[in-house]
Amino acid sequence: MKAKHQRLTLAVIAVVAVIGAGFLALAGLRDNAALFRTPAEIAVEPVPPGQSIRLGGMVAEGSIEHLPDGVTITFIVEDGEATVPVRFSGITPDLFQENSGVVAEGAFDANGVFIADNILAKHDENYMPPPMEDMASEATAS
């Protein structure tokens, strides 16, 4: 085989390998492309129990309840169209509160309750850490 044919064969193999790797990557990301699913999306297309997802929305006002064991909380995530009950055992982030954004990682149980393994509290673009707020208020006062 001539050198020209060898280079052409290697180039074709490389292109096929790159295309194959791209298809494998897309197949792996197919179900996880979204950052999270909202309660309205789950109401339209329910998630099977045990399948790991991220649930995002707002913590409903008056829904946070601390259970007697001291580490488990229940709350409701809403998005204006639907709600999802959530149970979490562990330490919540400092920004976790009612009427604030939240992303919970976990899975639904057989009763339709979302069992969160991890809670991520979200803040708006105007958030400023408390020490920075103190510095900002001192700067405007002087």
pLDDT in tens, 40-98: 999 999 888 988 899 999 999 999 999 999 899 999 999 889 999 999 999 888 888 88
Answer yes or no: do 86 and 63 share one domain. Answer: yes
Model confidence at 114: pLDDT above 90:
yes
Question: What value does the mean pLDDT of the chain take?
Answer: 84
Mean pLDDT for 6-17 is 92
Q: Residue 136: pLDDT above 60? A: no
* 24 pLDDT above the threshold of 90: no
Which is more confident, 104 or 25? 104
- Specify whether 17 is located in the same domain as 78: no
Structure tokens of 58? 């707002």
* Residue 99 Rama label (left phi>0; alpha psi -120 to 50; beta): left
What's at 69, amino acid-wise?
D
- pTM (2 decimals)? 0.66
* pLDDT higher than 60, residue 34: no
**In terms of residue numbers, what domain contains 21?**
1-33
Q: Verify that 45 and 113 share a domain, yes or no.
A: yes
DSSP assignment of 82-94: -EEEEEEESPPPT
The count of C-alpha atoms lying within 13 angstroms of the C-alpha of 58, restricted to the half-sphere facing its C-beta, is 12
Question: Quick one: pLDDT at residue 83?
Answer: 93
Could you give the number of structural domains in the chain? 2
Residue 79 CB neighbours (<10 A)? 18
Reading the block at residue 16, the tokens are: 């096929």
Q: Are 131 and 94 in contact (CB under 8 A)?
A: no
